[in-house]
């Protein structure tokens, strides 16, 4: 299986964001995870399309936009124009989930659905054939540096089962991404549960040597 590492800019130095993006891409990042918070859907406020557009020239890898905003649809075209490769949203934050998925795809981006730790998986029932990514939160969204919630592991296993069953029935390849509290020490366990894409903010940007941390993560994944 191909594993992807997606450093979260939330823990980067915002005063030097372009440099941080270039450094972490050079260090081996597969995606740049871009956390958008609105102080409404989540109790924090971060960055928007202008910042996405500003970092785009500094990144040779896709920008993985994680929208923690409500409403969702108004801002989707802005992120597509700002160079997002993937746009994921929380289904509770959209009144019309199918429409929002279509909007993202019509703007040329991959679409993802995000599940909070207590959000049930039924939102996948009529969407799995239309999305590219399932993003499972392993913390409650809003802040970096929180502790991994282990009850997400059986949920990852269940999503892996559904994604594989759909693929075997001729469906599309859907990535399974885990976000929150991912570190060198627990990445193998999360991969063993079925995840293939790993967001890590504080674990990468909090350590001085980004390349060393990403290499350690890959070594743990290779040893599976």
Q: Residue 159: which residues within 8 A CB-CB, separation 6 or more?
A: 121, 124, 134, 136, 176, 194
87 backbone dihedrals φ, ψ, rounded to 5°: -130, 120
- Rule CB under 6 A: choose which of 149, 188, 202, 215 binds ligand DX5: 202
Q: Residue 33: which residues within 8 A CB-CB, separation 6 or more?
A: 6, 7, 8, 9, 10, 64, 66, 179, 199, 201
Q: Which of 194, 201 has the CB closer to ligand DX5? A: 201
| Closest by CA position to 171, among listed 216, 209, 131, 224 | 131
Residue 63 interacting with ligand DX5 (CB under 6 A):
no
Question: Rounded to the nearest whole angstrom, what is the least distance from the CB of residue 102 to Zn ion in the complex?
Answer: 23
Catalytic residue among 35, 38, 64, 196: 35
Residue 180 interacting with ligand DX5 (CB under 6 A):
yes
Residue 197 interacting with ligand DX5 (CB under 6 A):
no
Binding to ligand DX5 (CB under 6 A) within 78-137 occurs at none
* Chain positions contacting ligand DX5, by CB under 6 A: 8, 10-11, 33, 35, 66, 139, 141-142, 144-146, 179-182, 199-203
């Amino acid at each position: 299986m191909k594993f992807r590492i997606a450093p979260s800019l939330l823990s980067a130095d915002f005063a030097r964001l372009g440099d941080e993006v270039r450094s972490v891409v050079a260090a081996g990042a597969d995606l740049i995870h871009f956390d958008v918070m609105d102080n409404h859907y989540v109790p924090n406020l971060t960055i928007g399309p202008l910042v996405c557009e500003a970092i785009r020239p500094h990144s040779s890898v896709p920008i993985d936009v994680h929208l923690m905003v409500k409403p969702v649809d108004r801002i989707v075209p802005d992120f597509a124009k700002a160079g997002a490769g993937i746009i994921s949203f929380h289904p509770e934050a959209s009144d019309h989930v199918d429409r929002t998925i279509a909007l993202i795809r019509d703007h040329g981006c991959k679409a993802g659905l995000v599940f909070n730790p207590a959000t049930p998986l039924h939102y996948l029932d009529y969407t799995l054939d239309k999305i590219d990514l399932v993003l499972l939160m392993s913390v409650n969204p809003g802040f970096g540096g929180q502790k991994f919630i282990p009850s997400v592991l059986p949920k990852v296993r269940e999503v892996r089962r559904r994604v594989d069953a759909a693929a075997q029935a001729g469906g599309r390849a859907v990535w399974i991404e885990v976000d929150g509290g991912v570190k060198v020490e627990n990445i193998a366990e999360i991969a063993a549960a079925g995840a293939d894409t790993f967001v890590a903010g504080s674990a990468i940007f909090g350590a001085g040597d980004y390349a060393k941390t990403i290499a350690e993560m890959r070594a743990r994944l290779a040893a599976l």
